[in-house]
């Protein structure tokens, strides 16, 4: 998914948007610019926008950001993360999306392509998009939550499958699989925790840039991201418990085998002693002249073995 350097949409306030060149102006209530912050032309474009505060410029162009929100009377600035659907990328390496909301102007930035941003573009072209800046922000949050929820559900399904197969899996397959799932959970949770707090800030801190209707709707997104974090916490515990259960099974199996070997060794130890004793080639060995001597030794060994087995059974060794 290749991200364009600068895209420009003029929002007519009715859910439709016309894609324009970056330098074109439009007599519409809202304009939305999305830039690729690693591109030099896009960097210059952002630096030259007088509407943006210095904090907004730094945040929109920063290569490493954690989810957070800045809300005041002049602007709304939020950094978010979304599932990475780009080719040859790991989904848990979440795409950073930053959005600034001002007076009739929306500026967002990312490096890699984002399905959520592309979805909003398509909705605008189909006259079903956001009517203003706060609706665009809400739609972006909704798509990010949907994408994250879908990926979290897939992890949950994999854990369910692992639970069903835990008793039949091999060590070489099960442990790498669970380690990979735990790594994915940790990566996503790392960003969703501060993202939940950033969205909660949007709800708690009032701004004249946002309407009362926005605060009524943003609460649903706060609740959704709280649920996502709780689901990740639960899956992390389930994955850890599965690994512990699997390793307990492996340990029990190994102990059972060692126990069996110990019993076999206990049986053969006296037999080995007898065979070694009667195998010495020295004068005076009893039974050398008796044709029944070997039979006596075999019978005695059999009786000894049966006796040991009975004693082990009574002692509850097996």
Q: How confident is the model at residue 284 (pLDDT cuts 50, 70, 90)?
A: low
User: Is residue 241 in some structural domain?
Assistant: yes
- 139 and 265 in a common domain: no
Q: Is 25 buried (19+), middle (13-18) or exposed (0-12) by CB count in 10 A?
A: exposed
Count of domains forming the chain: 2
Chain segment 153-174, per-residue pLDDT in tens: 999 999 999 888 877 777 778 8
- 310 and 162 in a common domain: no
Q: In this model, does residue 80 exceed pLDDT 90?
A: yes
Number of other CB atoms surrounding residue 136 within 10 Å? 24
Q: Are 246 and 174 in contact (CB under 8 A)?
A: yes
Range of the domain at 302: 258-314
- 307 and 218 in a common domain: no
Q: How confident is the model at residue 234 (pLDDT cuts 50, 70, 90)?
A: very high
Range scoring the smallest mean pLDDT among 153-157, 299-303, 314-318:
314-318
- 265 and 142 in a common domain: no
- 185 and 36 in a common domain: yes
Q: What is the mean pLDDT of the chain?
A: 88
**Selected residue with higher pLDDT from 317 and 110:** 110
Chain segment 261-280, per-residue pLDDT in tens: 888 888 888 878 777 777 76
CA–CA distance, 16 with 264 (Å, rounded to integer): 81
The last residue of a domain, from among 249, 269, 297: 249
User: Is residue 153 in some structural domain?
Assistant: yes
Q: In this model, does residue 30 exceed pLDDT 90?
A: yes
Q: Which of 192, 190, 163, 188 is nearest to 178 (CA)?
A: 163
User: Is residue 1 in some structural domain?
Assistant: no
The last residue of a domain, from among 207, 230, 249: 249
- 188 and 68 in a common domain: yes
CATH number of the structural domain spanning residue 132: 3.30.460.20
Q: In this model, does residue 3 exceed pLDDT 70?
A: no
- 262 and 138 in a common domain: no
Chain segment 88-117, per-residue pLDDT in tens: 888 888 999 999 999 999 999 998 788 999
């Amino acid at each position: 998914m290749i991200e364009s350097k600068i895209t420009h949409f003029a929002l007519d306030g009715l859910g439709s948007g016309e894609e324009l060149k970056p330098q074109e102006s439009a007599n519409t209530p809202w304009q939305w610019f999305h830039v690729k912050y690693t591109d030099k032309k896009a960097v210059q474009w952002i630096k030259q926008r007088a509407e943006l505060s210095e904090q907004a410029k730094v945040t929109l162009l920063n290569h490493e950001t954690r989810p957070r929100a800045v809300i005041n009377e002049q602007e709304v600035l939020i950094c978010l993360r979304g599932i990475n659907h780009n080719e040859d990328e790991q989904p848990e390496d979440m795409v950073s999306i930053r959005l600034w909301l001002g007076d009739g102007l929306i500026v967002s930035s990312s490096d890699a392509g984002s399905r959520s941003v592309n979805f909003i573009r398509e909705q605008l072209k189909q006259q079903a998009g956001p009517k203003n800046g706060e609706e665009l922000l809400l739609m972006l949050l909704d798509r990010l939550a949907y994408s994250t929820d879908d990926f979290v559900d897939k992890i949950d399904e994999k854990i369910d499958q692992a639970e069903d197969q835990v008793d039949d899996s091999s060590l070489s397959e099960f442990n790498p699989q669970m380690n990979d799932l735990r790594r994915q959970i940790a990566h996503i949770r790392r960003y969703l925790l501060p993202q939940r707090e950033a969205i909660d800030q949007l709800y708690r801190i009032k701004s004249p840039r946002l309407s009362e209707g926005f605060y009524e709707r943003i609460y649903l997104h706060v609740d959704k991201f709280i649920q996502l974090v709780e689901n990740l916490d639960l899956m992390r515990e389930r994955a850890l418990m599965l690994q512990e259960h699997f390793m307990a099974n492996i340990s029990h199996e190994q102990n059972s085998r060692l126990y069996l070997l110990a019993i076999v060794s206990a049986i053969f130890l006296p037999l080995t002693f007898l065979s070694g004793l009667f195998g010495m080639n020295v004068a005076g060995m009893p039974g050398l002249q008796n044709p029944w001597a070997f039979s006596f030794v075999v019978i005695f060994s059999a009786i000894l073995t049966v006796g040991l087995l009975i004693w082990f059974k009574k002692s509850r060794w097996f």
